[in-house]
Chains A and B, each alone.
Chain A
Amino acid sequence: MMRMKSTDYKALSVSIVLLLIAICLPWIVGDFALTLAVNMAMFTVLATSWALFSGPTHYISLATAAFFGLGAYTMGLGVDHLPFWLLVILAGLFGAIMAGIIGLATLRLSGVYFVIFTLGLAEMTRQIITYIQNATGQKGILISIWFEESTFYWMLVALAALIFLVGWLIGRSRLGFALRIIGDDEEVARHSGINTALSKVLLFMIPGSVAAMSGAIIAPRYGYIEPLIAFTPMLSFQVVIMALLGGTGRLWGPLAGVIPFSILWELISASFPNQTTLLLGLSFLIIVYLLPQGFVGLLLKIRAKIGDGRGY
């Protein structure tokens, strides 16, 4: 459980090969595919970090857009004063702090309160920022730096690799074990000496921080940010769907949801731009009724069946 086993080494080498392929992608594919790849990398970052928290705890967080917007605004407001990389780190810090505060207020209560709270969080933050901008007579923020598309891509891939590493380490740590126990039975967890509230808050800080960093990294790509761009509520839902579609039972699960859904989303919004909401809705229903454990669950089930077949 805690030592490196042969399967661990195998998983590690596969991951490294996949990472190398991902890194080489910009030299292989064309411009259009690269744009799609940037989106995929971003959603991989967001969905994987989302699943780190929501997978074991079963708390559905819809706060991604709020953290993302926070990060984008950190970049927008600071870009003329501080170096880019420092702002990314700062954004991560702010995201973690905000997640900590939200977590302390809501995570000791049942999951419903948490969902409701996070559902409106992006909208509330957007209203407040709009109000402040109106009060100061500002409309949006121009971001004066600019990167090549491939640079955005590599930054996000690096962040994704970092999250996979963190997720893998958490999975082997006491905190990871504690969260699995909490997910199974919170009462047993408490009586086994686990500070359940603290564990959940600590873990929630990861997606908060990561989403804020992604927002900061991506902000220059927009060039100009205003509340409606930075706090787009769709983002939170897309992340939930991709993570659940892939499955949260494995670290790589969300990735299995990100790739097909990003492509589908691209196709639908290109040909039927008004029907993206319908797509979101149907995806939710498909997840609940047909793929409750996501693609990961489906795969494990098939594998188990094949295993059974061999047994007879």
Chain B
Amino acid sequence: MSDHRTVLSLQGVTKRFGGLIAVNDLDFDVAEHEVLGLIGPNGSGKSTTMNLISGALSVSEGEIALRGQVISDLPPHKIARRGVARTFQLVRMLPSMSVMENVMAGGVFGHRRRWGRDAERQVMKMLELVGLDRRANARPSELTYIDTKRVELARVLVGDPKVLLLDEWLAGLNPTELEEGIALVKQLRDEGRTIVLVEHVMDAIRSLCDRCVVMSSGQKIAEGATEQVLSDPEVIRAYLGEDDA
């Protein structure tokens, strides 16, 4: 299955918390330039999976590989250096630093290590991309919610990662903001970035994801092209079992 285009691959990944199995024998691959949606009802193990890929949690069983090299036994900072960058479910800003420094944090120690003028140039380029170049010197506390999300996106982009993990990056935005947000991720897709995104917003999933992996109770219940997966009766059942389906 792992052809040369596979960037990220999960094989038999399992995570137990005491007696609880949060992720059970999960397999999927992410191809280069692909946007993969990781979807499913609340508590199905999506976020745990993101935490396993980024190293925030350690896998109980199975393997995660980045371009064929196993990363699941590495600490988070080494995984980040290999080229896996993530956003957080609840936005995490560095409150004592300017927007510029917040973004720079992602580009100095990670996959691409820049410093000095070179780093500043790259940061400004990313801020321009997310539309925040004018607020480079602002403090995070002065920003609107979507702008903090933008800063976080710029922070993960600045290190030029091989895989971007966006954990509910679009959650909590109002309709106008959501449109802007979707447009931004679309732009990233068109640039050829490889993205795994955990998302609840159906419109976003439809318009952004090439493929989807559906999880329920820690297991993969479907995988395939987005439209096809979303009309799968089992997927619909899994979602309807939930209140906010």
Contacts and interface: CB of A to CB of B under 8 A. Distances in A.
Query: Do the two chains bind?
Result: yes
A90 B207 CA distance: 65
Given A187-B56, A190-B77, A191-B86, A181 B117 contact: no
- Give chain B's interface residue range (CB within 8 Å of chain A): 20 to 34
Interface stretch (B94-102, B174-182, B212-220): B94-102
B77 A184 contact: no
Nearest to B95: A184
B96 A183 contact: yes
Contacts of B92: 185, 187-188
Contacts of A183: 96
B115 interface: yes
A181 B93 CA distance: 10
B101 to A, nearest CB: 8
A178 B94 contact: no
Given A174-B108, A192-B80, A184 B54 contact: no
Kindly name the residue among A1, A181, A189, A192 whose own CB sees the greatest number of chain B CB atoms within 10 A.
A192
Contacts of B116: 2-3
Contacts of B85: 191
Interface in B36-60: 54-56
A189 B93 CA distance: 11
11 contacts: A1-B104, A174-B109, A184-B94, A184-B97, A190-B56, A191-B55, A192-B77, A192-B80, A192-B110, A193-B111, A195-B75
A283 B6 CA distance: 61
Give chain A's interface secondary structure class: helix
B81 A193 contact: yes
Contacts, number: 76
B120 A191 contact: no
A48 interface: no
A191 B94 contact: no
Given A190-B80, A191-B76, A192-B155, A181 B56 contact: no
Contact of B105 (A1, A2, A3, A181): A181
Interface in A145-191: 174, 177-178, 180-181, 183-185, 187-191
A109 to B, nearest CB: 16
A194 interface: yes
Given A183-B96, A188-B94, A195 B77 contact: yes
Contacts of A190: 56, 75-77, 80
Interface in B110-153: 110-111, 113, 115-117, 120
A180 B80 contact: no
Nearest to B76: A190
A58 B44 CA distance: 37
- Give chain A's interface residue range (CB within 8 Å of chain B): 20 to 34
A28 B80 CA distance: 57
Q: Give 8 closest A-B pairs by Cβ, nearest first.
A: A193-B110, A193-B80, A193-B109, A184-B94, A190-B76, A2-B116, A193-B81, A194-B109
A191 B80 contact: yes
Nearest to B115: A174
Contacts of B105: 177, 181, 188-189, 192
Interface in B69-83: 75-78, 80-81
A196 B81 CA distance: 13
A291 B75 CA distance: 38
Contacts of A177: 101, 104-105, 108
Contacts of A192: 77, 80, 105-106, 108-110, 155, 159
A194 B115 CA distance: 14
Interface string B152-186: 00010001000000000000000000000000000
Given A180-B97, A191-B86, A196 B77 contact: yes
Contacts of A184: 94-97
Contacts of B88: 187-188
